[in-house]
A and B are shown apart, each in its own frame.
Chain A
């Protein structure tokens, strides 16, 4: 059966057969051939048989579909052609002609799921991909260029300093001399609470005490939002992202 092979950095990432149904290509996971790249539109292109002719059709994608380096709206494909979407290329293998019809529920998530071998992007490719990502600017909390600095401002209660910038993966709040936010005064636990930086944000969790966020005691690690009020051991703090 003819097939499309998604290539990345010279390696085959995924293969899908071309059957009687169009093969859809795009960034959204509901495509037959999902391409995880920001330069690729959600529904970028499709490949299908028109009679015995194999056709690629661009679905009004933002950055275009290229066949052998020519931008196309619609083009006939031949064995060995390369379709380019974003940073990926898709190799066309039509050496075994004639599509074989297969049931409509097949074909999805068909072939090998992932790059199995660990690989390292060289600096140039890495920079390009990240720039591209930033340029696309979707849900850009951090990509906007102005780095936002997570900060704790003490509103009331006894602490060593008035303001703390969270620079570590883990920030501890407590009486310990090694705590980042050092609580002073009697009967404070060595480690009262902790704030953990994860890839998707900052989370506060319990230590010797259960902290409250916006007046409600937390029941587990709780994501902090800009402006949240944290209370622990009689200390009130404001969690903010400074520009």
Chain B
């Protein structure tokens, strides 16, 4: 599968600074997004530290797989998912330690949603209320659970999903990076198929743009970079109350089924490519 991606971030219409941060590490197919919080510029410090730590830990582990692992990720997960979870635990520790050492940063924190694609296996590590979505067969489905008070109330059947959307408590998180010495990290593994589309976003998108609008935009705009820009524009048109960050990842079919051998030019294309195997 060929993976194409694009990402963008915007301060929105109300805030004066952007506390979101994201990175596309295309050689590794690693995608990380974080939404920071805290007074002054400390939210920016927290989200940047979160993203940098996760990227660096995964890259370090790629060159030297014996580097230590953090947070004791469950053995049932794949090595890739365990490494990603370890990276998020390390990010929590780094933000927490930074806030301990610099009292002015006290109370800073960040969300994190990290995706790592290896062949057709997707690993997700997640804390907070940024989200990962999968658009497949026209169905937009959230792959992460929000660690917010209202989402927990919906899961426990205390309030309905529409009551949650109206709630004044939407900004109250139950989990974030950097606010406690240890954090519980959600891990999820999924099989990917060609034509799958993945979306990572901060709550600045999902509070401003409905899921049907998001799905429609992703289906209409096939270029990931343009789709990301279009989603940010939509959030701003709807008020842009918070910073908005979006990563769009598209998995394209490299037609390599045995039927493609029957098509004219298929053999020639394959040999000029120098690729072998891959069935």
Chain B residues, CB < 8 A from A14: 168
Residues of A within 8 A of B173 (CB): 118-121
Least CB separation from B174: chain A residue:
A126
Max chain A Cβ within 10 angstroms of own Cβ: one of B134, B139, B167: B139
Most buried by B among A34, A114, A170: A170
A221 interfacial contact with B, CB 8 Å? yes
Contact flags A131-168 to B (C-beta < 8 A → 1, else 0):
00110101111110000000000000000000000001
Mark B1-13 against chain A: 1 for CB-CB distance below 8 A, else 0: 0000000000000
Report Cα–Cα, A206/B241, bound state, in Å.
34
Interface flags for B183-215 (1: CB within 8 Å of A; 0: not) read 000001111010000000000000000000000
Bound-state CA distance A114–B166 (Å) is: 10
- Which residues in A have some Cβ–Cβ distance to B below 8 Å? 13-14, 29, 34, 36, 38, 113-123, 126, 129-130, 133-134, 136, 138-143, 168-170, 172, 176, 178-179, 190-191, 194, 196, 198-200, 203, 205-208, 220-221
A123-B180, A169-B188, A194-B139 known; A115-B158 Cβ under 8 A:
no
Query: Hey, which bits of chain B sit against chain A, CB under 8 A?
Result: 35, 37, 109, 120-121, 134, 136-139, 141-146, 149, 151-158, 160-161, 164, 166-176, 179-180, 188-191, 193, 241
Q: How far is A161 from B213 in the complex, measured between Cα atoms in Å? A: 38
Residue of A nearest to B169 (CB): A36
Which of these, B134, B155, B166, B241, contacts A29 with CB under 8 Å?
B166
Please tell me which one of the listed residues A114, A134, A140 contacts residue B170 in the complex, with CB atoms under 8 A apart: A114
The CA-CA distance from A116 to B134 in the complex, in Å, is 28
Q: Which residues of B lie under 8 Å from residue A116 when comparing CB positions? A: 171, 241
The interface residues of chain A lying within 8 Å CB-to-CB of B241 are: 116
B137 touches A194 (CB 8 A): yes
Whether A120 contacts B188 by the Cβ 8 Å rule is no
| Given A121-B174, A199-B155, CB of A172 within 8 Å of CB of B191 | yes
